[in-house]
């Protein structure tokens, strides 16, 4: 699985869009980009994933660049409950991967009131 | 998280004691995992089970054993606990074409 690079921390004002970048310059053509988040002391929670096209669900949007070397997770209207560590993970299969996820340190997103 | 139950939620052990962390899922997924998370760190994979009857080592397996009792249950055993095993332990499950679901964690302190 390709290595991903994320900023250590970010701030965002409540009600604004939070844009979390992820660099995955060595990603291969059949690796998906997955995003999870971990709210303090809880288990990680799946947010969204994509391969080439932009994706949107009820939680967030995922924008993947045309060359697939980077992506951005967008939380459209951040709330205080979105304060969490966000993990960007490149995975070889279309699913969670039978051999587990490799977590980095992620981005600590702090939503300011 | 719904569908993944970990027990106990908290545990304090003395060095050298043994214990088993239990994980059960009602999502009918084939793959199950055990992770540990130390303060300020990301999760690290201890062991995983791609399907009932199979287990494999992850990144940090030393000092642990696992049992995939059936499709629902995947237990993690510490035979002789050490202070370095003080951590938060998370169980997870998935299918190959879906996302992973995590439990709420077991907070273990070894003194």
For A108, the closest chain B residue by CA position comes to B40
* Confidence at residue B2, expressed as pLDDT on a 0 to 100 scale: 56
Q: Tell whether A99 is within 8 A of chain B (Cβ).
A: yes
Residue in chain B closest to A44 (alpha carbons) equals B102
CA distance linking residue B91 with residue B89, whole number of Å: 7
Question: What pLDDT digit, counting tens, does each position of B48-60 carry?
Answer: 998 898 999 999 9
Question: B51 to chain A, minimum CA–CA distance in Å?
Answer: 9
Best of B3, B29, B42, B58 to disrupt the A interface by mutation (most A CBs within 10 Å)? B42
Neighbours of A18 (CB within 10 A): 24
Residue A94, pLDDT above cutoff 90: no
Question: Residue A93's pLDDT is what?
Answer: 66
What percentage of chain B exceeds 90 in pLDDT? 83
């Amino acid at each position: 699985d390709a290595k991903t690079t994320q900023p250590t921390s970010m701030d965002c004002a409540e009600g604004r869009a939070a844009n979390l970048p992820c660099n995955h310059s060595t990603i291969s053509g059949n690796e998906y980009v997955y995003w999870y988040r971990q709210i303090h002391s809880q288990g990680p929670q799946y947010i969204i994933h994509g391969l080439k096209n932009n994706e949107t669900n009820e939680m967030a949007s995922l924008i993947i660049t045309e060359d697939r070397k980077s992506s951005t997770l967008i939380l459209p209207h951040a709330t205080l409950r979105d304060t969490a560590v966000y993990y960007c993970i490149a995975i070889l299969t279309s699913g969670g991967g039978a051999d587990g996820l490799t977590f980095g340190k992620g981005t600590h997103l702090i939503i300011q009131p | 998280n719904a569908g993944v139950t970990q027990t106990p939620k908290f545990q304090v052990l003395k060095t050298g004691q043994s214990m088993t962390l239990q994980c059960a899922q009602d999502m009918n997924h084939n793959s199950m995992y055990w992770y540990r998370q130390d303060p300020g760190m990301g999760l690290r994979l201890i062991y995983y089970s791609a399907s009932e009857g199979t287990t494999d080592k992850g990144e940090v397996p030393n000092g642990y054993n696992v049992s995939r009792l059936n499709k629902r249950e995947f237990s993690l055993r510490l035979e002789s606990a050490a202070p370095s095993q003080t951590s938060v332990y998370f169980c997870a499950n998935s299918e190959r074409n879906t996302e992973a679901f995590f439990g709420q964690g077991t907070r273990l302190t070894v003194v």
